[in-house]
Amino acid sequence: MKVISYNLRKHRAAGELAALVSRYSADVLCLQECDTTSMPDNIGGLRLANATSRNRLGLAVYYRENTFRLVDVRSMALKKSMHDRVLKPAEERMLGVRLHDIDENRDVIVGSFHAAPLTALNSLRRHQIRTALTELQTLGEGLPVLMVGDYNYPVFKENLGQKIREHGYELNLSDSRTYTRYRFFRGHYDFATSVGFTIDRVRTLPQGLSDHLPILVTTNITAQTAANAA
C-alpha cells in the first residue's frame, strides 16, 4: 500500500495533488490544511472518504476505489493548545478511515493527523498523538493502523519514538527533512506511526507550493497480523 501525506499550507498546494497521485501510484491520500469546503469528490482516481467539517482548513482522506471499500470514518478534536484556544485554527486534528481491501479480503485503518503548532509543548503533542492512536483503534480492534501527517515535532524525536513504542506503535521518519520555511525550524515534521504494518520506506517527495514536502509511505501488513486476520 502506498500512502501520500501532505500539508497543503492553507490549501496552496491543492493543485498538485492529481499529479502526485498519478506519478507515485498512491492508494491513499491523507491531507492537512486543505480547504474542506472545496475538496473534489475524486482526485487522480482516488475517492474522497471524508473531510473534517468544524474548521475550514482541515483534514481529508482519499482512497483508491477499485482497491478498497470504505467501511467507517471517525474524526476527533484533540486536547487544545493555547494557540488553538485563542486563534481557533483547527477543531478536529485527527481523521481516520477503516478500509476493506477487496482483493486481500481484510481491513486496515488509516488516519490523517495534524498536531498542535510549535507554540505548544511537546508534552501536549504527545498527548494528542496518544489520544489519536487510541481513537483510531476503536475503528476496529486488532486491525493494522497507520497514522500519517504533520506531527510538528522537529526536536527530541528519539524521546517521541520511545513513548510511541511504549504505546505499542512504531514511529518512522522520512529519508530527508520535510519542512523548509524557516531556517531555524527546518527538519522532519511529517511522520508515519503504525502497528501491524511493515514500513518499507518513508520517502520525502520534491517540494511544491507548500512549506511542507509531501511524504510517500510504502508499507505492507505484517505476516503475523495477516495470519491473525485470516
| pLDDT, tens only, 44-57 | 999 999 999 888 78
**CA-CA-CA-CA torsion sign (30, 31, 37, 41):** negative
Q: Are the beta carbons of 7 and 212 closer than 8 angstroms?
A: yes
Q: Kindly indicate whether the domain formed by 2-229 is annotated with CATH number 3.30.1340.10.
A: no
Domain boundaries, the chain: 2-229
- What's the predicted TM-score (pTM) here? 0.91
Cα end-to-end span (Å), the chain: 18
3-state helix, strand, coil in the chain (%, to 5): 25, 40, 40
Q: Are the beta carbons of 196 and 141 closer than 8 angstroms?
A: no
Given pLDDT bands bounded at 50, 70 and 90, which one contains residue 183? low
Concatenating the DSSP letter of every residue in 126-195 gives HHHHHHHHHHHHTTSTT--EEEEEE----S-HHHHHHHHHHTT-EEE--SS--B-SSGGG-B--EEEEEE
In this predicted model, what pLDDT tens digit does every residue of 145-156 receive, in sequence order? 999 999 988 777
